Structure 1
Amino acid sequence: SELSEAQLKKIGRPNYNSISVDAASSGNPGIMEYRGVDTKSKKQLFKQGPFAQGTNNLGEFLALVHGLSFLKKHDSDRIIYTDSRTAISWVRKKTCNSKLERNAKNKPVYDLVDRAVQWLKENEYETTIVKWETKAWGEIPADFGRK
């Protein structure tokens, strides 16, 4: 569904004082990876994976927490964009509600998830998390381009 001129105007342009995070999973569950990039230049700032088994939601969650910890470590005032409402809600609740059952194949992913949840519980952060407006701006700059 296309946005009207008025809607586009109201949404405005992305804030380029930001980083963008995204995940890709081939199959659900399937091989999963995630990364964070500078929103303006698309320069890759971090990347994890590919992991043998994960889901898009797990990847989006890990990408968002990795981004928060990256910005905190660099004492950055940048905002962070994600196109995942699920990841935003899991981060707010400091939890991960994945339905994927833990097994040997996805242990590396769940080890990172456990660390991410622990990080959220132990750290304060000032970073503003913003939903990327895909309909207005196109795919998020961190997108893996596999659609």
Structure 2
Amino acid sequence: MTHKARFYVVWKGRNPGIYATWVDTEAQVKGFAGAKFKGFDSLKAAQLAFEGAAQPKAEQGALWHLTSPGGEMPEQPIPDSLSVDAACSGNPGWLEYRCLDNRTGRVVFKEGPFQDGTNNVGEFLAIVQALAWCKEKGLKLPVYSDSRVAISWVRQKRCKTNLKPTEHNQKLFALIRWAERWLAENPYDNPVLEWNSRLWGQISADYGRK
């Protein structure tokens, strides 16, 4: 069972401070780019942490960082959000990817199979397509992926794959060019978050083929 914090310190959010409930904390950090916050067992510990430093050190404990990979997440994923996942039969191999609405469980889109692809390429394309779909619909839903590599590529606006072009993956490389161009030309407000498989299990969009 996940231990629940009693107090939360928000160092970077809409209104930095100490909050007694996750609901109040989430209101300060959800959708806020670069939000930084952490849970504590006591008010005293929270006060010392908040007054002691504006930026906590990593060795002081797990920092909940909604928009960067590697940090701890809240006890549950944000319900109103999207999740993406890719499945690839080899490296390279037959690739497909999809996006799921976490509130309803509905498949928002699915693509593939594509020959001579990789899992990270699929995750990258799925994230960008989810962002493009949200922008078209006027939605600011967070997008979850369990691929740190793909999340970093999205932030850098470039698919840094070592995959080689072949006669079979020309359509896949056309999608990569589209995704990079879309990222270069379209600002977006949707947080791209890492799915915490350790706490939450397999990502909701998972193909279940592992």
| TM-score (normalised: structure 2) | 0.65
Distance in 1, matches of 2:77 and 2:166, equals 39
Superposed, which structure 2 residues align to 1:77-116 within 5 Å? 77-116=140-179
* 1:5 counterpart residue number: 2
Q: Which region of structure 1 is more displaced relative to structure 2, 35-44 or 118-127?
A: 35-44
Please give the alpha-carbon distance, in whole angstroms, between the structure 1 residues aligned to 2:137 and 2:79: 17
User: Structure 1: 5+ residue runs without aligned partners?
Assistant: none
Structure 2 CA distance for aligned equivalents of residues 26 and 124 of structure 1: 33
* Match of residue 33 from structure 1: 96
Partner Cα distance (1:130, 1:102) in 2: 29
Shift of 1:40: 2.9
Per-residue displacement from partner, 1:27-76 (whole Å, max 9, x unpaired)? 11000000001013321000110111200010000000001001111101
Residue matched to 1:57: 120
Q: Secondary structure at the match of 1:64?
A: helix
Structure number with the bigger relative contact order (C-alpha 8 A, sep ≥ 6) is 1
Any unmatched runs of 5+ in structure 2? 6-38, 40-73
Larger Rg: 2
Q: What do the CA deviations read for 1:4-36 (whole angstroms, capped 9, x no partner)?
A: 733x76631110110100100011100000000
Sequence identity (%): 44
- Runs of 4 or more off by more than 6 Å in structure 1? none
C-alpha separation in 1, matches of 2:163 and 2:141: 32
